[in-house]
A and B are shown apart, each in its own frame.
Chain A
């Protein structure tokens, strides 16, 4: 599996899109840090961007890489290699290369700016961690969708739709549900609903570090008690791990049943 990962990874390092992605983060972060004024402000702006962009790019990369590497896949399928290893290897290759783009693109400017000597280091770490999780989650979902759809256009459309759903539509429905049932106690519902959307969950994890005052003061004791504690933090991170594991498991499930 690691050999496949290695080859997928090196294959991707030849793709200029990966560099464009990394360079975009780099330039953005540099300009936010040096022109926008200050660490915490840069972290907030980056959060807004990473929460949207990391899932989107991971989705597109996942789907595109799957369809573009079919030749490679077919070559591998005739070799004495486990099927699940082929697809996990490719998936991890995509996810890792995205993760490294993000890490370098966002991380380097912060290191140059002196994040290690700042109190914001934890907020920043959380931002990066969440960005990495989102890359892994959405490239897994994308791979799963691509595996299930041999038709490129259909697969691509579906993957983008899934991204759109989690990035925007889900929250719209969420808000609608909240305002329709505002006469009922909704805190547990609100927690539950955020767990089911990795983007929401990631956002809340960062917000609890950043806008903690506003969030906690208002939503009530349940959310504060759940999300604000170490246990809640551990739970949320655990759910994010599940969000990686589930589509990855789906990749395996489809992979061993699929004809090539």
Chain B
């Protein structure tokens, strides 16, 4: 590439290359599945070609099932992730600001943290009578730890000269929490929210495959058991789109809430 870099604007030639790269991937996929490519350790014999996947996607788009699946997945993420955000930021603030809270809360959290959220699935099915609740719980657990840890990190690493300045300017403890600690920890909290969002979706899809009746993870797994192979890939693409959408939402929220941070330079 010999195009000159201009701040903020990417030249059309680079967009062309980016677009061609995606087209090339789809063409390779089409060739591999069309030719039933088999390399011994991996085979494309059962992989549906893009054309077939497109047809299945159109069918799903037109059916009312899409709304039911996507709707119930979104609801579970909203509930589980939302609870994790409230609890995680609350715990994170307490642990980061108070030694007593840190001694009280941190040991059990440190013990539970290394357990992958997916490993909670059997126990949560036993604990919660409704499978709906158990799936929300898994989503919650997945997001909780990254949010807590990043909040603690952000809160504990506030420059103490900023807090001292605020106190010398007449700031009360409550005002310092609101005006100094919260915005000071915000970049770290948003990082935790983004990581938590990723693990949340990951956990949800897994939980739905095991115990769901609706939801996009369930749809994908059901497609496999019913041998609708094209639907598997449609499900995967929808999961990808939902993940992309929610992380876009968080990035936008971050920019909106933290205007003092320089926007990242496009590369």
A and B bind: no
